[in-house]
């Protein structure tokens, strides 16, 4: 006797509706996450014209934009991209904490997967490492997670 095959969705991007929400704050990092996500979308068979990209001021605004997009019912999954770098003040905790909490709340309340592609790091160097082109780009990883969740939910049916 063996267990059933785990139910996993296809990560084929064709026909999927995904929106990327990217913060402008720390754009020198977030634009690389965005490029990584777009490249992963194309790698998985998606057409760039079929990918929605919206920009918000900072990570703190990602949840409300995600909520608005989820409410349209047009998207199979959302990817939130941002970068919060720890400074000498408690601001980091507020921005990073509320961003993570808010995004999960949107996912749980709407049922639309919201992927946490927000870097929360201590130093600029750590951010650069995670936004570099190629393997390890967290934007690309976030996009792949979105495709996995969209594929899984498609396989589960409504």
Q: Under the criterion CB under 6 A, does residue 59 sit at the interface with ligand INI?
A: yes
**CB pairs under 8 A, 24+ apart, for 61-68?**
61/23, 62/21, 62/23, 62/99, 62/102, 62/103, 62/118, 63/98, 63/99, 63/101, 63/102, 63/103, 63/105, 63/106, 64/102, 65/21, 66/21, 66/102, 66/103, 66/106, 66/114, 67/106, 67/109, 67/110
List active site positions.
91
Candidate residues 18, 19, 22, 26; the one interacting with ligand INI per rule CB under 6 A: 26
Please select the residue that binds ligand INI; options are 95, 106, 107, 146, rule is CB under 6 A.
95
Q: Does 80 bind ligand INI (CB under 6 A)?
A: no
Among the listed ranges 67-75, 83-91, 128-136, 141-149, the one in contact with ligand INI (CB under 6 A) is 83-91
45 binds ligand INI (CB under 6 A): no
Does position 84 bind ligand INI by CB under 6 A?
Answer: yes
Min dist. Cβ of residue 34 to ligand INI (A) = 13
Position with the least CB separation from ligand INI: 58
Per CB under 6 A, residues contacting ligand INI are 23, 25-26, 57-61, 82-85, 87, 91, 95
């Amino acid at each position: 006797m063996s267990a059933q095959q785990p139910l996993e969705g296809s990560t084929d991007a064709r026909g999927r509706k995904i929106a990327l929400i990217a913060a402008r704050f720390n754009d020198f990092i977030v634009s690389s996450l965005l490029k990584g996500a777009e490249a992963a979308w194309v790698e998985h068979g998606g057409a760039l014209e079929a990918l929605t990209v919206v920009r918000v001021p900072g990570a703190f605004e990602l949840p409300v934009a995600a909520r608005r997009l989820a409410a349209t019912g047009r998207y199979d999954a959302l990817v939130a991209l941002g970068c919060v770098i720890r400074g000498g003040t408690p601001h980091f905790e507020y921005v990073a904490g509320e961003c993570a909490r808010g995004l999960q709340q949107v996912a749980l309340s709407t049922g639309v997967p919201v992927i946490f592609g927000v870097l929360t790091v201590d130093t600029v160097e750590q951010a650069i490492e995670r936004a570099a082109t190629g393997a390890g780009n967290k934007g690309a990883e976030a996009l792949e997670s979105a495709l996995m969740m969209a594929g899984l939910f498609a396989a589960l049916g409504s």
